[in-house]
Amino acid sequence: MTYLILIFFLLLLMLGAAIYAIVQKDLLYAVIATGVISLVLTALFYLLQAPDVALTEAAIGVALTTIIFIITIRNTVRHEDDYNKKDDLKSAVE
């Protein structure tokens, strides 16, 4: 019974993180939410007695994919930064 409650809780956590990733406007927070989804999926795979799949998901899904997305977002110009620069220019002119 406790096992089923734990699996149900992890599934709800994964669903909540997925909805948060879809609704979130900031890409960095959305990527972190997808990392949480992969982390919960890793725990579910381990609980379902698939440790090799859990290890692969942890290495690829949590670590590698999240790091690649964060590096990509860091190297691009953020939409919020454009608005802040325009506001700074307006205040400097006035």
Q: Domain segments of the chain: what residues?
A: 2-93
Tens of pLDDT, residue by residue over 2-56, are: 889 999 999 999 999 999 999 998 899 999 999 999 999 999 999 999 999 999 9
Tokens linked to 92: 């400097």
Question: How does residue 90 score in pLDDT terms, banded at 50, 70 and 90?
Answer: low
What is the model's pLDDT at position 1?
Answer: 85
Contacts of residue 41, Cβ cutoff 8 Å, sequence gap at least 6: 14, 57, 61
CA gyration radius, the chain: 19
Q: The whole model's pTM is what?
A: 0.77
**Contact predicate 86/52, CB 8 Å:** no
